[in-house]
Structure formats: C-alpha cells, structure tokens
C-alpha cells in the first residue's frame, strides 16, 4: 500500500499496522522509519528523542539491527527498502522497537498524535499475539511438516550422492580393446583405474618390471599394493625398496596359480587384462571389468590359498 496517499488523521485506522510488525531476534518489533511516519515526525527526530531519554530504552525495548538482519528483513517484507524513505537514504542501520519500546515512545515524543497512534499500535500487537496463540497448534504442525521435508531432502541428497558415486566409479566401459601402438591410451586407462583405489591394489601378473612400477606410482598416497607374480620376476629387492621409499607400501608375492592378468581395486572391482601391464598398448589386447562379484571373491580366495612365498624384501 502506498502510505503517501493516506490521510494522517486516519493513518492507523486504515493502514494495516500488522504489516509493519516484523520478527527479529525471536520477538515482534517495528522499525524506526515506519514508526516515525505513523507518529508524523522525521526518523531522525524520533531517534534523537530516544537518545535524549536513553535510560528509558534498554536493549529489550530498542536495539539497532545488524546488516544481516536488515537483509533478512527485506526478504520478510518482500520489498527492496524499508520505511518511508528506505535504508538507502540513511547513513546508519535502522533501529527496532519492541512493544514496550513503542509504548515508551509516546511518552518521549510529547504529541497528541503519538499518544493516539500508540493506542492503535498496541491493539495491533495484541491482535498479533492472539492470532499466534489461537493458531499455535497449526504452527506446530507446519513446523513438523517442514522438519519432515528437510529430513526427506537430506535422505534424497544422500541417495543421489550414492548414485553419482556409483556412476563415477563405473563411468568407464566394461570392455575396452587397444590395438597395436595405442600405448598412451592403454597406459592412461590403467593409470585411471589405479587412481580410483582408496585402500588397496592387487595386481596378478606373471611378468612385471620397472614399467609396471611406473604405472603403480600413479596411486594415491598410502595405498597398499600387492603384486602376485612368478618367482623369476624382473623386479629386484632394490627396485621394491626404492619404490617403497617414495610410494609405500609395495609387497611382492610369488605364485604359479594364474596364467591371466588381473587388477583388483579395494577388493571390490576386478579387471581382466589381456596382456601384462608393462606391455600395455604394445600389442593388441583388451581390458574387461568383471561384473560378477562372486568371481572377484573367488580370485581373492585363490590368492590366499596358493601364495608360494613372500616378497624378496622379507626373505
């Protein structure tokens, strides 16, 4: 409503004072510029009268709002400025008056208008309190509904996070074939798989060398690496020791159980690799993601039963 078109004599009776009552710091208040307009005085004159009688206006009667509270107040009111002139033309943030502070104002302004207007404002506050009291049960139900909605949104967000994580973990094709000469592409794919490990990497490969370690160096920090290979491996004790100085921890085991190559990530995801990792891209070969979790468990079980000896670093 445009307050400039309202006659001063009928201001309180025609203008809905309830629309000028805001909720700040868990209490109902009115802003100094709105009160000044209702009392037919300048905002500065109203605040000066308060300062001259500051003992009558403790903090629970009157307080200056913060910038954050002012921004929130604009959201409550749905307008870009507050009061007749708005905050844009002021040098200071507005003051807020509680019901007790508004009652005290009529005594320090010393005008008949102030007394008459205060009566109308007090009635508006009483009406607001009665409305809240009579509808407290409704407000409680609304609060519970909002709480349930927040809980539902939280659960939905958690489920979406799980979906996005699954998509991220499984974004590569379950099958990939590399042709002769695609060394970079093959190297990049295996490196990306290695980078996904959060706890452990297991490589089953009968032919490993320093090129294999160069790929495994792409892992995250503190990820355990276990290699199962033939005893006549090209990796020496010194190679393993040097790797562990910079990228701990690598453990070497010997086994003759496997012919094919497997790369297992976090004991959950297994890849069947058609060529030794050190030869990735040098010849035509394929990489397949093993979809059956039971197969992954069987491979791990076989490893535990058929390991022949420990790392050369521990022998």
DSSP 88: G
Per-residue pLDDT, 76: 64
Per-residue pLDDT, 311: 45
pLDDT of the chain along its 315 residues, tens only? Answer: 444 444 444 445 434 677 788 888 888 888 999 888 888 889 998 999 999 999 999 999 999 999 988 888 877 665 444 544 444 456 789 999 998 888 888 778 877 777 677 777 877 777 766 666 666 666 566 666 766 676 767 777 777 677 666 655 555 545 565 555 566 677 788 888 899 999 999 999 998 998 889 889 989 998 999 999 998 888 888 999 999 999 988 999 988 888 888 999 998 888 988 878 877 666 677 788 888 888 888 888 888 775 544 444 433
- CB-based burial of residue 265 (10 Å sphere; 0-12 exposed, 13-18 middle, 19+ buried)? buried
Per-residue pLDDT, 139: 59
For the entire predicted model, the pTM comes to 0.43
Per-residue pLDDT, 86: 45
C-alpha atoms less than 13 angstroms from C-alpha of 149 in its C-beta half-sphere: 6
Taking residue 30's Cβ as centre, other Cβ atoms within 10 Å add up to 25
Per-residue pLDDT, 8: 43
Q: Does residue 97 contact residue 17 with C-beta atoms inside 8 Å?
A: no
All residues at 6 or more sequence positions from 31 whose CB lies less than 8 Å from its CB, including other chains: 20, 22, 73, 82, 83, 94, 95, 96, 97
Omega within 30 of 0 (cis) for the link into 249: yes
All residues at 6 or more sequence positions from 14 whose CB lies less than 8 Å from its CB, including other chains: 6
Please state the φ and ψ torsions of residue 259, each to the nearest 5 degrees: -100, -45
All residues at 6 or more sequence positions from 246 whose CB lies less than 8 Å from its CB, including other chains: 217
Please report, for residues 9, 49, 106, 119, the alpha-carbon distance to residue 112 in angstroms, rounded to integers and kept in the order given: 11, 16, 9, 11
Smallest Cα–Cα separation from 102: which of 9, 25, 36, 15? 36
Measured CA to CA, the distance from residue 212 to residue 219 in angstroms comes to 12
Longest CA–CA span in the chain (Å) reads: 106
Per-residue pLDDT, 115: 67
User: What value, to the nearest 5°, has the Cα angle with vertex 58 and ends 57 and 63?
Assistant: 85
Q: Which domains does the chain have, with CATH numbers?
A: 3-140 (no CATH), 175-306 (3.30.870.10)
Which long-range CB contacts under 8 A does 51-60 form with residues at least 24 apart? Answer: 52/108, 53/104, 53/108, 56/104, 56/107, 56/108, 57/101, 57/104, 60/98, 60/100
Beta-bridged to residue 30, according to DSSP, are 97
């Amino acid at each position: 409503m445009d307050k400039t078109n309202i006659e001063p004599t009928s201001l309180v009776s025609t203008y809905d004072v309830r629309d000028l009552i805001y909720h700040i710091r868990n209490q109902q208040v009115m802003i100094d510029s709105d009160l000044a307009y209702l009392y037919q005085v300048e905002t500065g004159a109203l605040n000066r009268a308060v300062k001259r009688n500051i003992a009558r206006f403790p903090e629970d009667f009157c307080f200056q709002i913060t910038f954050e509270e002012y921004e929130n107040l604009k959201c409550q009111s749905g307008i870009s400025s507050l009061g007749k002139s708005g905050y844009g033309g002021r040098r200071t943030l507005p003051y807020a008056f509680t019901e007790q502070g508004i009652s005290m104002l009529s005594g320090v302004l010393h005008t008949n208008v102030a007394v008459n207007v205060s009566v109308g404002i007090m009635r508006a506050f009483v009406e607001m309190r009665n409305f809240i009291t009579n509808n407290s049960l409704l407000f409680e139900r609304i609060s519970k509904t909002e709480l349930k909605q927040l809980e539902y949104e939280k659960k939905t967000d958690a489920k979406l996070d799980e979906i996005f994580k699954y998509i991220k973990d499984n974004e590569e094709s379950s099958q990939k074939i590399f042709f002769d000469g695609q060394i970079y592409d093959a190297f990049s794919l295996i490196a990306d798989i290695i980078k996904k490990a959060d706890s452990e990497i297991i490589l089953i490969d009968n032919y490993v060398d320093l090129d294999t370690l160069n790929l495994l160096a792409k892992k995250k920090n503190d990820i355990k690496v276990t290699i199962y290979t033939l005893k006549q491996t090209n990796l020496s004790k010194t190679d393993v020791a040097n790797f562990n100085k910079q990228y701990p921890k690598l453990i070497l085991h010997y086994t003759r159980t496997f012919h094919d190559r497997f790369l297992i990530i976090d004991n959950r995801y297994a890849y069947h690799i058609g060529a030794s990792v050190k030869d990735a891209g040098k010849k035509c070969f394929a990489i397949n993601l093993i979809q059956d979790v039971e197969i992954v468990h069987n491979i791990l079980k076989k490893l535990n039963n058929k390991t022949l000896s420990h790392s050369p670093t521990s022998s």
